Amino acid sequence: MSASIAAAAPVYLDWNATTPVCAEAMAEMLDAMQHAWANPSSTHAPGQAARRVLADARLRVASFLGARPAELVFTSGATEANHLAVLGALASASGRGGIEGMHGLAAAHGAAGRVRRRLVLSAVEHPGLLALADRLAAEGTPVHRVPVDREGRLDLAAARASIDSDVALVSLMGANNETGVCMPLAEVAALAHAQGALLHVDATQLAGKAQLSFAASGADLMSVSAHKIGGPKGVGALLVRKGVAITPLIAGRQERHRRGGTENLPGIAGFAAACERTAATLERDMAAMAALRHRLEQGLAAALPAVRVLGAGANRLPNTSCLSFGTLAAELVLARLERAGIVASSGAACSAGGTQPSHVLLAMGLDEAEARSGVRFSLGRDTSAADIERTVAAATAALAPLLRADANATVAPSAANAAGQANAPSAATAAAAVAEAAAMPA
């Protein structure tokens, strides 16, 4: 690694985690704080001025998402939106049987008013949603996780088998945050609606990286987050299709009684500005990111033959690349990359005792060692060709010696297979990973 590489500003390739706040969002947030600081629920003139800013932002966010303004419920982010969708729809379905008539199926089932309790979701949902599903299961809600294949694609046959007339809600992410693999929303919408169930789509990663229309998606509920598209953190939205009943989590009159609490007006104004900024160059940015991602994957695979693209056979977001560097643990790769001025991430979760394998990669059938090896590079609209060239060069310089050392130290593949240790990292690499991880920030 040369001193000039280390001294330069880091290359940020973690846009799926969060994005820098764009200038347009900052300007609108400042403006809202200076000029629309009143409570939008107040009836006096300053309150009404704030209310107009809120209504204008609602219109702009809804327009970006292909939704009607009345369908939009502002939340504190996608995690809250996911909770509102799942808990709100389940409570509504079990309390009042309120969704039976939604898709005109009550008569067909002859079951109007029947209580639906089951929740179906994919095995690769965001950890916050899976944790909620686990909690619901522990409390007695029947929950079913639909598997994915080795490329991270949803098993549609398994989805079809699991969605029956007892299902209240199917929850499926639009695209996976670790691999970028896109999910078959139209097909699952048809399966859900054929059984009279609702479909919730966690579109947190899809928004801003693909053309997205709530109206055309078939979804009944959709979660989005501002900070993934150049807006501020702590604001997002749940889209609720007209006629869909959800029980609120937070009581109050705001957001048409669907989410109480004074609205985060600066955040919402920033969200609206970020939506417009994203829409202005979306097609161009998507094409540019896809070309740069291709260059990254080709460059790394050419220089480091151990590199494997996870989910390569699936339809993926244009900006996301989940790579395995042979037997090297992700935390070791990330530490070396950061030292060389490249910032990326892994889906594997750090815990006190070490690294937990990524639930997404485990669901894709990778073994535990492989599921600890996935490194996510996620590009954004500011990523340049020079950033990618620098990443390929830095990764090659930092990782080639490690891979060579590991290849020499690792038992021959046939012997490893016989011992059931295929792809297990060598003792030397594992020790280096533990030592470097100890020095890494949480």
Ligand X SMILES: Cc1ncc(COP(=O)(O)O)c(C=O)c1O
Interface residue list for ligand X (CB under 6 A): 77-79, 126, 128, 173, 177, 202, 204-205, 225, 236
Taking the complex as a whole, the smallest distance from the CB of residue 414 to ligand X amounts, in Å, to 40
Residue nearest to ligand X (CB): 77
Nearer to ligand X, 181 or 246 (CB): 181
- 22 part of the active site: no
- Candidates 158, 93, 83; CA nearest to 120 is 158
Nearer to ligand X, 77 or 341 (CB): 77
Taking the complex as a whole, the smallest distance from the CB of residue 317 to ligand X amounts, in Å, to 11
Nearer to ligand X, 71 or 125 (CB): 125
Nearer to ligand X, 17 or 416 (CB): 17
| 13 vs 11: CA distance, rounded Å | 6
Taking the complex as a whole, the smallest distance from the CB of residue 304 to ligand X amounts, in Å, to 27
Residue 355: CB atoms within 10 A of its CB come to 19
Nearer to ligand X, 79 or 327 (CB): 79
Taking the complex as a whole, the smallest distance from the CB of residue 345 to ligand X amounts, in Å, to 10
Taking the complex as a whole, the smallest distance from the CB of residue 205 to ligand X amounts, in Å, to 5
Task: Please state the separation of Cα 405 from the chain's center in Å.
Answer: 35
Residues in the chain: 442
| 177 vs 78: CA distance, rounded Å | 13
Nearer to ligand X, 79 or 278 (CB): 79
Nearer to ligand X, 80 or 297 (CB): 80
Taking the complex as a whole, the smallest distance from the CB of residue 174 to ligand X amounts, in Å, to 8
| 84 vs 74: CA distance, rounded Å | 11
Taking the complex as a whole, the smallest distance from the CB of residue 171 to ligand X amounts, in Å, to 11
- Of the residues 22, 182, 275, 350, only one is catalytic, namely 350
- Give the orientation angle of helix 427-438 with respect to helix 330-339, to 10 degrees: 60
- Candidates 311, 310, 273, 317; CA nearest to 292 is 317
Taking the complex as a whole, the smallest distance from the CB of residue 121 to ligand X amounts, in Å, to 12
- With beta carbons less than 8 A apart as the criterion, state whether 127 and 359 touch: yes
Nearer to ligand X, 206 or 340 (CB): 206
Tokens 């945050």 identify what position?
Answer: 177
Q: Which active-site residues does the annotation give?
A: 350
